[in-house]
Amino acid sequence: MGNGSSIDTSRAVHLDINGKIEKIIFSRHSSSRDIHELICQAAAVNKYSTITLKDVDGAHVTASPSMPINTPSTPYTVVVKNPSSRNGQLNVKDESEVFQNVLSQVAEQFNRAFKVEEMKSDITTRLSSLERRLEICGDEGLKVVEIEKCKRDISDIKDQIWNAQKKFIDFNRMSSLSDESKISLKRDVPAYPKYTLSQETVEYLKQPTFDIWHWEPNEMLSLLEHMYHELDLVTEFNINPITLKRWLLCVQENYRNNPFHNFRHCFCVTQMMYGMIHLCKLWEKVSREDLGILLTAAVCHDLDHPGYNNTYQINARTELAIRYNDISPLENHHCAVAFQILSNPECNIFFNVDKDTFKRIRSGMTMLILATDMARHAEIMENFKEKLNTNFDYQNKEHLDTLKMVLIKCCDISNEVRPMEVSEPWVDCLLEEYFNQSDREKMEGLPVAPFMDRDKVTKPTAQIGFIKFVLIPMFETVGKLFQQIEDTMVEQLRSALRRYEEMKSENEKQQKKG
């Protein structure tokens, strides 16, 4: 087994700050907030400033531990928007914006330190300050309509604090949002801009080679929206376009900021499903309703993932494990949150379908999301192989259901199907999440899986067995139905396997020299 020291734990990117090239170095285990503050420090601006990064082509880049590295000749341009001020003091609107930034920062710190009381005290103090500022502005003759707006802003902040506080407490108990909690939209619609997609992007979006790293969250929302329109699902389910926007926003709000299981992973899996639909021309084999179930299950498949897997949930006896009797606790929770969102008429994209259709949609989505539990991998694959050996029948519901389960499984773990520059950062993200879990398990005296232990696993050892014994056999099996998959995806997996085997060999040589 390799040694964990072979993993480089630091990264460096180059920034163009007002024409001056600066270099920042950060750990792969840094949070996005850590990197944001580091960039603010390099730019000599307030840490509450809004920071935007753009690459040499003008594309937005997410400031995260997994952002692509660059060179001094291809720096990321830093665009800074400072909180505005008047006479050195923030006005009420600015204070509100700063307060929400502070709330976000406190949330991340809390997730690491679990200091609920300190957070509550700090938030209460800052809210009191904001309310005093409102009184001062009123004394200074601020217009009544502006005062009322400020009061509404404060009321909204209090609601956000309450919602955030509930989620913090749940996280501390390793329990996510309860099934009974009302999941409501936090932003108005439309809250993200409408992007005009070039024909090149429209075609590129259908490819398994699509690079998912160069898209901002709002752009990902627009791309997901495009998928529903392009596949004619908006017509099929008579979806109100504004409801589609609300639903996508609410889904995004209910993905946590984990290193791996986050909204970008949701987009990645959904884009691969969209790509496989087009690659295999699935509309010739299955109904438009089934296409909608496949795509929507992909969007919802990891909703509110806490960043700790089922093994942890069961061993730690968390509320989720208790609630679902140790049976796929996370996948059951993802389903529950998905239909919690759809229970809100404002976010229910299936509001206009009849009861029988919705019953089929609910049954189909539940089946697919539960199929993403890797504990069921062998069972599902054996079932699928059995169907293939008895002459696969697209008119047979049992055959078709098994195919759909295998398709979402393929999409869920499809990163290595993508080009190396797209797939490899995902390995870093996954290892970061694994290491977070194993560190916690060690601290709590729980069993630690070797493939999650930072002292035992390396990048190549993490991937070689998974590609060889899980990915290649699964995609080869699906390739028996769709030759296109054998020609494109399986070959890319074999190439990835060779690359990691070479990496392992090189690591072993370096260790012998050392």
> Among all residues, which ones are annotated catalytic?
261
What is the spatial distance between Cα 177 and Cα 151, in angstroms, rounded to a whole number?
Answer: 29
Q: Give bridge partners of residue 80 from the DSSP assignment.
A: 51
Residue 84 per-residue DSSP state? P
Residues with Cβ within 8 Å of residue 355, at least 6 apart in sequence: none
CB 350 within 8 A of CB 358: yes
Strands 50-54 and 10-17, by their bridges, are: unpaired
Rounded CA gap, 279 and 488, in Å?
10
Amino acid at 263: F
**Token reading at 201:** 């992007």
* CA 201 to chain CA centroid, nearest Å: 21
- For residue 53, what are the β-bridge partners? 61, 78
* β pairing state of 10-17 and 20-27: antiparallel
For every residue of 338-387, DSSP letters joined together read HHHHHTSGGG-TTTTS-HHHHHHHHHHHHHHHHTT-GGGHHHHHHHHHHH
Structure tokens at 90: 């923030």
> 463: alpha, beta or left, given left = phi > 0 and alpha = psi -120 to 50?
alpha
Encoding tokens for residue 344? 């809100």
Q: What backbone phi and psi angles, to 5 degrees, belong to 395?
A: -85, -10
466: region left, alpha or beta (phi > 0 left; psi from -120 to 50 alpha)? alpha
Residues 6+ apart with CB under 8 A from 350: 237, 239, 342, 357, 358, 361
Using only C-alpha atoms, what is the Rg of the chain?
Answer: 24
How far does Cα 68 stand from its chain's mean position? 17
Retrieve residue 403's tokens.
């195919």
The closest alpha carbon to 310, from 321, 323, 300, 296, belongs to: 321
CA–CA dist 505, 417 (Å, integer): 22
Q: Cis omega before residue 83 (within 30°)?
A: no
